[in-house]
Structure 1
Amino acid sequence: MSDFTDDLDDLETAEDFLRYFHVTYDQRVVNVNRLHILQRFHDYLSADGDVESLDDNGMSSRYRVHLERAYLDFVVSNAIAEKTFKVHKEEARKMADRFVPLDSLLGSP
């Protein structure tokens, strides 16, 4: 196990990750979106196929980029709009299925 992965094992909270990777953050954004930020960070890492092949410095740099990107997603948006978790994706699908055009409510002229 490398020093980098040892360090990662000690990180528990969103704030721990943000501080470790030197990502400047607003505590109010983290308070509302902490799980969403960490899930999105995980999603970005999973989509980055070659991150595991990098050395510690390369991995740390790539992790930082993905964490900052995940955090910024929720600075400019919100959890419902971002549909981070399955429950949000399902709710968005249900809302789309329930959409009724205004014309159908007013009837045809």
Structure 2
Amino acid sequence: MPTLEDDLQDLSTAEDFLNYFGINYDIQVVQVNRLHILQRFHNYLHKAENAMPDDEAAQREVYIRLLTRAYQDFVESDALTEKVFKVFRMHEPQTAFVPLEQIMSKSNPAVSGKM
């Protein structure tokens, strides 16, 4: 008898996962966001891996809850807003920490007057 892990290895598309776990979905939402849904599901699973139960039935419930949540993220929002992939975050303002000591350092051309 195949295990949950065996079954999961045979799944490849968002539709495969949603159908396997019996989650109702709007095909238009999935067609537009399939990779985003799968990546978000993966991210949720990664965060939950330390708390994953040993019992396969309980694991299945966790998978259903997290996949439903990942799908709902894109029912209620969109890929541009959710920014699942790095490419969507590349043009956001970046922050950097510069210690005050480095700013006031004599080797800093702005402080030493050697510009």
TM range (shorter): 0.7 to 0.9
Structure 1: distance between partners of 2:13 and 2:54: 24
Q: For residue 54 of structure 2, what is the aligned residue in structure 1? A: 54
Work out which structure has the larger RCO, using CA pairs closer than 8 Å and 6 or more positions apart in sequence: 1
How many residues in Structure 1 have an aligned counterpart in Structure 2? Answer: 93
AA aligned opposite 1:90: M
Structure 1: distance between partners of 2:3 and 2:46: 21
SS of the counterpart of 2:65?
Answer: helix
Under a length normalisation based on structure 2, what TM-score does the superposition of the two structures give?
0.76
Structure showing greater Rg: 2
Structure 1: stretches of 5+ with no match in the other structure: 98-109
Q: For residue 11 of structure 2, what is the aligned residue in structure 1? A: 11
Under a length normalisation based on structure 1, what TM-score does the superposition of the two structures give?
0.80
Structure 2: distance between partners of 1:75 and 1:29: 6
Structure 2: stretches of 5+ with no match in the other structure: 96-115
- C-alpha RMSD of the superposition: 1.6
Percent of aligned pairs sharing the same letter? 49
